[in-house]
Amino acid sequence: MDAKGACDHLSGFNIMGRYLIVLYFSPSKQTKKSDLASKEAELAEMKAKYGEA
């Protein structure tokens, strides 16, 4: 639960003009692969939410 909390609260946090990306290992999600377009959309959403530097 601590890893999930850190991922939820720190991912996308802006430090000195850079955004943190917090990941943790989950065996059940290891087999699923996401495509690049969905990751780019997620990043754009984070930038819009937290403001782009």
Cα→Cα distances 38→16, 17, 27, 43, Å: 26, 23, 21, 9
Q: What is the pTM of this model?
A: 0.38
Q: Residue 19: beta bridge partners?
A: 14
pLDDT score at 1: 82
Residue range of the domain that includes 35: 2-50
Cα distance between residue 8 and residue 3, in whole Å: 9
Question: What does the pLDDT look like over 13-30, one tens digit per residue?
Answer: 888 989 888 877 766 665
Tell me how far CA of residue 27 lies from CA of 1, 18, 46, in angstroms.
15, 28, 25
Structurally, the chain folds into a number of domains equal to: 1
